[in-house]
Structure 1
């Protein structure tokens, strides 16, 4: 399994690689939250709220290790997307509740929708084994950042909004 340090290093690499892309200032588009492996407590929620307050960033990436399995959380315009590389993995209910509380707390300042929603991207690219989850999380971040037109998540957002479904194929 890939550790927290590897994912942190990769996020630094992504930021430095795309920061200098001509005509595309990523500092106003993306933010990386520290890969989380700690308990879902008030400290976790306070960290997420503070990171959301730190900037007017459009999309926030939070790799999270849930029961020895990495998933990617993308917080985008008060919507919370969960990208999981395993087709059948336990539902992270405690994580969802902690994220909802954090985004609601952030929303009290009037910056985003006060009713955040969790979107599970059930059909995001899957990995056959159980040990590639860290690689999948890094690939998800890279693919989303490389999508200069933001079509990937905009497609997801519009399908979810128009159809009122909780998951979509990408």
Structure 2
């Protein structure tokens, strides 16, 4: 989910996610036929224009994955000639949701 170009998956992060999946499966009683998850580098993921928008890009990317009930994001973000681009409207939507969440939390204190 790294929105910076040409990055590889950090080994520590890979281990954290693999362990989390194993713990979740154990907790829910799910049995997996695989020993560990299959990791794929999706080259078509949206790329941030500079190194200061990463938080909003990652949040938007996560939102797209969560709302993708058909799990088609793998095909959407696979290698493409034209990478997916988030418009300013996409990023502003995430900023507004974040601001509303923080405001709600502050009002509850």
TM-score calculated relative to the size of structure 1:
0.36
Query: Any unmatched runs of 5+ in structure 1?
Result: 1-82, 157-166
The structure with more radius of gyration: 2
Say which structure is richer in strand. 1
Per the alignment, residue 41 of structure 2 pairs with 120
Q: Does 1:168 align with 2:78?
A: yes
After superposition, residues 13-162 of structure 1 pair within 5 angstroms as 83-89=1-7, 91-108=9-26, 110-113=29-32, 114-115=34-35, 116-147=37-68, 150=70, 152-153=72-73, 155=75
The root-mean-square deviation of aligned C-alpha atoms, in Å, is 3.0
Higher RCO (CA-CA < 8 Å; seq separation 6+)? 2
Structure 1 residues 105 and 143: CA distance shift in structure 2, 3 A: closer
Change (3 A) 1:146 1:107: closer
TM-score by length of 2: 0.51
Instruction: Detail structure 1 runs of 4+ shifted over 6 Å in the superposition.
Output: none
Higher-helix-fraction structure: 2
Aligned length: 77
